[in-house]
């Protein structure tokens, strides 16, 4: 092995750049806003603006420029971002190598993406757990469409995405949290159905559908088609959380993952009937970027999320 050569590093060059500037750069890349980046690092906006000016001088590039209501990255900033993030992770790992991780001392905001039903299902337990274990931790759920979440993960805007991801990239790490089954929801006062209706019966009824649950195009419809059936969708909704109120007033059927129908348990005037169809299963997973896999703070957060899944779904969690 080649010995350490002190001439390999131009130490004088480091006088122009300190680690705090790189931390500021990483925050600016993640937030695309001087104001939000300043809040993330708990410094004033003038200090963050000064850091951006120094970064522009050091790298001889604009780095971030005004684009509409926000800021966008220059080509050079996009090339620098993953290298700076990895350098900071390496520095963090070095600094914490001999320091036991203590969640009670953690001060951090986790940026994540998940849809409305998952947020309603998981966040009450997750937030309560984090408040007990790590009161310095904050959560920010970003309203990012499912088809954009992996891209935002790559760009560093979020640290974790939870949902249905049939395909991930080589830069991602995926862990299955739960395999959701499906159930039909309806009002027994408006529809006379048995406790376990089959698809042939359901095909004769009008349906309400939502694509916001992330079940992909046609998962339920393909189950009907394999049996030579076709369902008749007469209403589409952007949010599945509105469905209980709709089916209470209209004789409609909704077929939804049980992760969603669990949220309707307090609607005692509705009936939720599971569908015994093995092919109707929806894997729900959490995805992170490989660059973050050694981050002890993120590892703690993922463990808290797994414990939440076990608490919320004690008999079915994967």
User: In whole angstroms, how far apart are CA 25 and each of 87, 108, 132, 292?
Assistant: 12, 17, 32, 17
Q: Does residue 236 register a pLDDT over 80?
A: yes
pLDDT range class, residue 3, cuts 50, 70, 90: very low
pLDDT, one tens digit per residue, over 258-294 is 889 999 989 999 999 988 888 888 889 999 998 888 8
Q: Chain centroid to CA 17: how far? A: 33
Give the pLDDT score at 96.
62
Tokens of 123: 């966040």
Residue 288 and residue 279: Cα distance in Å, rounded?
Answer: 27
Mean pLDDT of the chain: 85
Residue 268 and residue 185: Cα distance in Å, rounded?
Answer: 12
Q: Residues of CATH 1.10.10.10 domain(s) within the chain?
A: 10-95
Across the range 184-213, mean pLDDT stands at 87
pLDDT, one tens digit per residue, over 150-193 is 988 888 889 999 998 888 888 899 999 988 889 999 999 999 88
pLDDT, one tens digit per residue, over 109-143 is 999 999 888 999 999 999 999 999 999 999 999 88
Give the pLDDT score at 216.
46
CATH of 10-95, one of 3.40.50.850, 1.10.10.10, 1.10.150.650, 3.30.420.40: 1.10.10.10
Of the given ranges (69-73, 77-81, 88-92, 151-155), which has the lowest mean pLDDT? Answer: 88-92
Give the pLDDT score at 246.
95
Q: Does residue 318 register a pLDDT over 60?
A: no
Contact between 207 and 233 (Cβ < 8 Å): yes
- DSSP string for residues in the chain: -PPP-GGGS-GGGGGG--HHHHHHHHHHHHHS-HHHHHHHTT--HHHHHHHHHHHHHHHTS--EEEETTEEEE-HHHHHHHHHHHHHHHHHHHHHTTTS---GGG--EEEEEE--HHHHHHHHHHHHHHHHHH-TTEEEEE----GGGHHHHHHHTS-SEEEE--S---TTEEEEEEEEEEEEEEE-TTT----SS--HHHHTTSEEEEESTT---TTHHHHHHHTTT---EEEEEES-GGGHHHHHTTS--BEEEEHHHHGGGTT-TTSEEEE---TT-EEEEEEEEEGGGTT-HHHHHHHHHHHHHHHHHSTTT--
Bridge partners of 161?
113, 287
Tokens of 112: 């994540």
Of the given ranges (6-15, 84-93, 144-153, 241-250), which has the lowest mean pLDDT? Answer: 6-15
- Exposure string over 228-247, b if 16+ CB within 10 A, otherwise e: eeebeeeeeeeebbebbeeb
Q: Residues of CATH 3.40.190.290 domain(s) within the chain?
A: 104-318
Residue 280 and residue 5: Cα distance in Å, rounded?
Answer: 61
Global confidence as pTM: 0.67
Q: Domain 104-318 has what CATH class?
A: alpha beta
Give the pLDDT score at 11.
54
Bridge partners of 153?
none
Contact between 72 and 62 (Cβ < 8 Å): no
Comparing C-alpha atoms, which of 154, 155, 147, 159 is closest to residue 169?
Answer: 154
């Amino acid at each position: 092995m080649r010995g350490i050569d002190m001439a390999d590093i131009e130490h004088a060059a480091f006088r122009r750049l300190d680690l705090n500037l790189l931390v500021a750069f990483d925050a600016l890349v993640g937030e695309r806003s001087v104001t939000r980046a300043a809040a993330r690092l708990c410094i004033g906006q003038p200090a963050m603006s000064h850091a951006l000016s120094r970064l522009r001088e050091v790298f001889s590039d604009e780095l971030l420029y005004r684009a509409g209501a926000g800021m966008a990255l220059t080509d050079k900033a996009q090339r620098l971002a993953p290298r700076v993030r990895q350098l900071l992770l390496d520095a963090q790992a070095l600094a914490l190598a001999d320091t036991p991780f203590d969640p009670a001392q953690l001060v951090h905001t986790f940026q994540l993406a998940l849809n409305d039903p998952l947020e309603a299902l998981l966040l009450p337990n997750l937030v309560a757990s984090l408040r007990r274990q790590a009161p310095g931790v904050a959560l920010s759920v970003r309203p990012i469409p499912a088809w954009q979440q992996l891209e935002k993960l790559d760009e560093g805007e979020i640290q974790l995405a939870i949902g249905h991801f049939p395909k991930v990239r080589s830069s991602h790490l995926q862990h299955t949290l739960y395999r959701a089954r499906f159930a039909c929801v309806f009002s027994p006062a408006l529809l006379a159905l048995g406790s376990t209706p089959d698809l042939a019966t359901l095909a004769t009824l009008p349906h309400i559908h939502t694509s916001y649950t992330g079940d992909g195009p046609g998962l339920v419809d393909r189950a009907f088609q394999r049996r030579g059936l076709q369902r008749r969708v007469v209403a589409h909704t952007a949010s599945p959380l509105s469905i209980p109120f709709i089916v209470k007033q209209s004789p409609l059927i909704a077929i939804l993952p049980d992760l969603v129908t669990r949220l309707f348990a307090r609607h005692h005037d509705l009936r939720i009937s599971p569908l015994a169809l093995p092919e109707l299963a929806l894997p729900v997973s959490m995805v992170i970027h490989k660059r973050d896999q050694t981050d002890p703070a993120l590892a703690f957060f993922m463990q808290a999320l797994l414990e939440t899944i076990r608490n919320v779904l004690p008999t079915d969690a994967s």
